[in-house]
A and B are shown apart, each in its own frame.
Chain A
Amino acid sequence: MTFDLSTPEASSAAEWRGVDVRYPFAGRNAVGPLDLQLRPGERVLLLGASGSGKSTLLLTLTGLLPNSIPAEVGGEITIGGIDVGSREPAGWAPEVAQYFQDADQTLCGMRVEDEIAFALENRAMPEAEIAAVIGDAMREVRLPESWRQRRSSSLSGGERQLVALAATLVQDAGIFVADEPTAHLAPEAANRLHALLAKAPATQTMLIVDHRLDGLIETIDRMVVLGADGTIIADGVPRTIFRDKRAVLATLGIWRPAAAELDGELTRIGLAPPIAPLSIEEALAHLDPSHAPQSAIARAKPVVAAFVAACAAPADAAVTDAPVAAELLDAACAPFLGPVVLRNVDFRIREGETVGILGANGAGKSTLGLCLAGLLPVKSGKRQGATGGVAFQRSENQFVGGTVSDELRAALPPRIGDAEQARLVAETLEKWGLGGLGRQHPFELSQGQKRRLALATLTITDRWPLLVLDEPMAGLDAAGAAALTAQIAGLCRQGRAVAVITHDMDLALRLCPRSIVVGEGRILADGPTGELLRDADLLRRADLAEPSSAAARRWLDRVAAC
């Protein structure tokens, strides 16, 4: 049985009434108690710090939790006014399309076209219709035709996410639920996804969890913020919340769009935009150099300049004369037992240097990182330098301990005494925001917590002169990202070389004085990050996008030209 969630009779597309969730053996609720109603056609963004229960809340919607994942769920959950428990989770698939945080939770390991067809087959859609829908979905998400016969598990993390998106979009359900849909996507692909969400039918209700707000937030009608205890601390229009609750969001370590920071600075000097801005363009629209009062522009200029400077790595952070930590010379890089994906790679990283490795999904960034660290031998050419420590994209792969504390202890040299070990472990847990989780199994942590643990194990000692961090910020909240950024800067000051593989152009600009851009089977460019991210042709070739502060820099250029 299906029903139309957009009809006036359906007063709510979905509703949680007095809902709380507690996992087995957990000492407190993962979520709630909370009340939340999604109105038909509403686009809701769910924000919260890492571990605040956002993913848990989404899993309760169709009853996957507690039906498939054990937990105690209290309260009442309805879809279109019908109790969720009245059907099996699979029975809600026609009404709810779910896009999970981990693409492996959305995909089943089939060939790409079979993955996309799966939900439609389950709905008994005629075969000819399915074929047409698959073609449309692949075109819409811009999946190459050559992927049709490829197994989804043979794709890179970002590529899998695109397939998962196509597989979810074809469901054309009344409610679309997405948990961090852009976490592993390159900027151009993330923009594509945001565009797809923006042009979705007005009748479709959306509930989205995402940390990457720039480009998405403009399409959102309403924002719900979860506090650290899993209860709702703010519910309203994004513009209002980002301006009125700026301090609260910052304190809780919740992501805000870049414009919210600039809005705060402009408000401080009495030049607040007339409406709370969601983009840098909106924040500076009332200060257009061609018609705004010169006095206002003069007051705003140092503030905007300081904002732009804060978004970029300090100019003096560039390292040019330190000893080389590791280098690849005319190297050919290939994944283990796979074909060469990058050729003629000449790349060196110096002690104390932070270098960004940027590129589209599937460009070979992770393979390059493993070769640089010395974990993958180069197929031809040469690698020199110290072996590096790698923070893998899937943090779970590097966990071997039974508890979080064991994991950290295993990373310490055995000669350290028990008391010193305990002190270092406790100190590291606090430093990485993992206090109180020492006795939990690493696999029980949230995605952000897992990532912090992986990084904590790499930095608890000074064993690694070179660190390769593969998407280090994926799954982290703003506080975690800020802490990690400070940690990385500290590591570099200690003389360690850090290579950061990232899709986040803002992060690359802020953290890496120098970057390389990977694409077309080679290194396309190597230079100061700011310059690379201003090269429109390069960004287009590499499927990248400019950082969010670019509009502010352009404003400064216009002011200077006037």
Chain B
Amino acid sequence: MAGPGRRVLNALNPLSKLAVCAIWLAASVLIFDAWFQIAAILLVWLVLIVFQRTSPLVLLALMVPFCLFGLGFLTTSVLFRQESDFAVQVASETPFGSRAFSAGVNLFLRAIACGMISTFFALTTDPGAFVRALMAYAKLPPRIGYSLFAVMQLVPDLAAEAQQMRFARAMKSGRAPRRIPGPFEAVSLVIPLLAFGIRRAGRTAIAMEARGLATGTPRTLTNVPKFSVRDAAFVAIALAILGSLTVATGR
């Protein structure tokens, strides 16, 4: 069951969260300071664990791809430092050993910080509510909005479909399916899943058309997320923390 904190974050208007996340992402990109990035990562962790009751293990697992991405920056920066003079110059002012390593660490942390801010948005936002908010407040056309929504919904469906395919293949090969597919199995699923995605998109389009989704006709939007005092408080607190951090880290 969702805790009260979970309800607070989920009840926020997705556009408030989007705006705050966009500002924090911009800050993470522009503020080349390792302490700032660390603070951003820890803050997201704290908020997700305390308010969203997200397991630290889940957060660690979600950080893996961003860490790998950041590792690329780190190695590039250490091995090819002449390519990043500006970054090296800026990073030299931070207390992380050599200039090249310091710049690499900055880029590494920045990748994780951006990833965690995105994760915060994804874990606290219902895709349906997000699309509805975009249609209601950003005048996103319903056809595009629902297409976007269908794409977002396709991700978990692809996982379920992949699982059914794995069962069928495991049956044909005479072995029980592994918990996590191996690289060959994963690659072999790509084309069937693509075919599924195309079929599913066609069916969804027919379903929406048969139920009257058309362009240029007025329509009602139900369950539109409302803006409330909580949104104002959330934005104010998030920006205040950002300002404090910026000042504290000397920018």
Contact = CB atoms under 8 A, between A and B. Distances in A.
A127 B200 contact: no
A124 B222 CA distance: 10
A370 B167 contact: yes
A16 interface: no
A125 B220 contact: yes
A131 B204 CA distance: 24
B209 A64 contact: yes
B249 interface: no
A68 interface: yes
Contact of A108 (B171, B204, B221): B204
A151 B150 CA distance: 12
B211 to A, nearest CB: 4
Interface in A101-149: 102, 104-111, 113-114, 117-127, 130-131
B211 A124 contact: no
B211 A171 contact: yes
Nearest to A114: B128
Interface in A331-365: 336
Contacts of B157: 109, 153
Interface stretch (B37-45, B98-106, B172-180, B233-241): B172-180
Interface residues of A, number: 60
B212 A123 contact: yes
Given A88-B214, A122-B214, A394-B164, A108 B208 contact: yes
B66 interface: no
Interface stretch (A291-299, A371-379, A506-514): A371-379
Contacts of B57: none
Interface in A388-432: 388-390, 392, 394, 397-398, 400, 410-411
Contacts of B207: 100, 104-108
B219 A124 contact: yes
B177 A375 contact: yes
Interface residues of B, number: 46
Contacts of B202: 68
B122 interface: no
Nearest to B214: A90
Given A392-B164, A397-B161, A102 B220 contact: no
A12 interface: no
B203 A105 contact: yes
Contacts of B229: none
Contacts, number: 147
Interface string B145-180: 010011001101100110111011111101011000
A376 B169 CA distance: 13
B205 A130 contact: no
B180 to A, nearest CB: 11
B170 to A, nearest CB: 6
B168 A398 contact: yes
A153 B156 contact: yes
Given A122-B219, A375-B171, A389-B171, A64 B210 contact: yes
Interface in A24-82: 62, 64, 68-69
B153 A110 contact: yes
Interface stretch (A91-99, A220-228, A244-252): A91-99
Contacts of A390: 167-168, 171
B230 interface: no
B185 to A, nearest CB: 13
B209 to A, nearest CB: 5
Interface string A501-520: 00000000000000000000
Given A62-B210, A122-B214, A167-B211, A130 B150 contact: no
B82 interface: no
Q: Which of A151, A388, A411: most chain B CB closer than 10 A? A: A151
Given A387-B171, A400-B192, A411-B172, A153 B212 contact: no
Contacts of B168: 390, 392, 397-398, 400
Contacts of B213: 90, 118, 122
A100 B208 CA distance: 12
B163 to A, nearest CB: 5
A218 B215 CA distance: 41
Nearest to A177: B210
B60 interface: no
B210 A106 contact: yes
Contacts of B200: 104
B218 interface: yes
B150 to A, nearest CB: 6
A10 to B, nearest CB: 21
A289 interface: no
Contacts of A108: 146, 149-150, 153, 204, 207-208, 211
Nearest to B221: A121
Given A68-B206, A90-B214, 4 more contacts: A104-B200, A121-B219, A153-B160, A443-B195
Question: Which 10 pairs, one residue from A and one from B, show the smallest C-beta to C-beta distance?
Answer: A93-B212, A122-B212, A398-B168, A109-B153, A90-B214, A397-B164, A119-B211, A121-B220, A124-B218, A98-B210
16 contacts: A90-B209, A100-B207, A108-B150, A108-B211, A109-B153, A110-B149, A110-B153, A114-B222, A118-B208, A121-B219, A122-B217, A336-B163, A373-B171, A375-B176, A394-B164, A411-B172
